[in-house]
């Protein structure tokens, strides 16, 4: 009896792992060229953001096994929906600098698995400047009051 339960559990676990094959990992054609302000902004974006905001996603091994595969593909799909540099209509590109300065992007769970995507405060500031120069927008750095408040610099 115990052996049967064990065998059934093992089969179930293997099936769950294999189900990752069906996750929707797509990298559609890149149909947009970004006019980066500098090579540094571009490489930081590729390192910290491109996995979820472009069609150049580097799929990790856990995107191939269930159930994590479904979490990863869902995250990427959602990220691309909001902001995608690989489409002519990029979406919320002008909010990129603000998301970085507020520490919302890259998401925390992503950073746990991709520590190399993290940035020091100085790097964030530099990157945010580059994002503004490339995509426009404001850094959201100045004390968090909602509502418009333009400071040109
Ligand atoms: C692990 C995937 C992932 C990574 C990596 C990631 N994002 Fe996101 N991003 C998302 C998801 C999912 C959303 C949509 C839900 C949300 O706003 O939390 C999003 C939303 C956004 C938005 C739109 C916000 C809005 O309010 O509409 C911007 C701008 C953005 N991300 C910029 C970035 C930048 C810049 C980086 C790199 C520093 C980055 N993201 C890294 C997943 C990611």
CA 126 / ligand 1 centre spacing (Å): 18
CA distance 76 to 54: 9
- Show the domain range for 78: 2-135
- What's this model's pTM, rounded to 2 decimal places? 0.90
Kindly tell me if the per-residue pLDDT of 147 is higher than 90.
no
The verdict on the CB of residue 99 being under 6 Å from ligand 1 is yes
DSSP assignment string, 75-139: HHHHHHHHB-TTSSS-BSGGGHHHHHHTT-SS-HHHHHH-GGG---HHHHHHHHHHHHHHH----
User: Residue 146 — pLDDT band, cuts 50, 70, 90?
Assistant: very low
Residue nearest to atom 9 of ligand 1 (CA): 79
Q: Is residue 92 part of a domain?
A: yes
The verdict on the CB of residue 47 being under 6 Å from ligand 1 is no
What atom in ligand 1 is closest to the CA of residue 72? 1
For residue 112 the two structure tokens come to 């746990």
CA 56 / ligand 1 centre spacing (Å): 15
CA distance 49 to 106: 6
Q: Is residue 152 part of a domain?
A: no
The verdict on the CB of residue 135 being under 6 Å from ligand 1 is no
Q: Is residue 150 part of a domain?
A: no
Report percent pLDDT > 70 for the chain.
Answer: 92
User: Residue 142 — pLDDT band, cuts 50, 70, 90?
Assistant: low
Q: Is residue 125 part of a domain?
A: yes
Q: Is residue 141 part of a domain?
A: no
Q: Is residue 145 part of a domain?
A: no
Is it true that the peptide bond before 106 is cis, omega within 30 degrees of 0? Answer: yes
Kindly tell me if the per-residue pLDDT of 151 is higher than 70.
no
Query: Tell me: the pLDDT tens digits for 100-131?
Result: 999 999 999 999 999 999 999 999 999 999 99
Query: Tell me: the pLDDT tens digits for 14-45?
Result: 999 999 999 999 999 999 999 999 999 999 99
Q: Is residue 99 part of a domain?
A: yes
The verdict on the CB of residue 63 being under 6 Å from ligand 1 is no
Q: Is residue 153 part of a domain?
A: no
Kindly tell me if the per-residue pLDDT of 150 is higher than 60.
no
What atom in ligand 1 is closest to the CA of residue 97? 35
When divided into structural domains, the chain yields a total of 1
Query: Tell me: the pLDDT tens digits for 45-94?
Result: 999 999 999 999 999 999 999 999 999 999 999 999 999 999 999 999 99
The verdict on the CB of residue 83 being under 6 Å from ligand 1 is yes
Kindly tell me if the per-residue pLDDT of 99 is higher than 90.
yes
What pLDDT sits at residue 144? Answer: 46
């Amino acid at each position: 009896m115990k052996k049967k339960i064990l065998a059934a559990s093992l089969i179930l676990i293997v099936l769950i792992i294999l189900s990752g094959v069906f996750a929707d990992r797509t990298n559609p054609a890149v149909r947009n060229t970004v006019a980066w302000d500098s090579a540094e902004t571009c490489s930081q974006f590729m390192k910290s953001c491109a996995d979820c905001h472009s069609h150049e996603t580097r799929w990790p091994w856990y995107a191939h096994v269930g159930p994590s595969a479904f979490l990863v593909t869902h995250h990427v799909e959602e990220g691309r929906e909001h902001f995608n540099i690989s489409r002519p209509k990029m979406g919320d590109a002008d909010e990129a600098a603000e998301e970085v300065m507020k520490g919302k992007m890259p998401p925390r769970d992503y950073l746990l698995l991709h520590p190399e995507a993290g940035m020091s405060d100085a790097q964030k500031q530099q990157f945010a400047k580059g994002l503004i120069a490339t995509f426009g927008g404001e850094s959201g750095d100045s004390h968090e009051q909602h509502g418009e408040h333009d400071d040109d610099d």
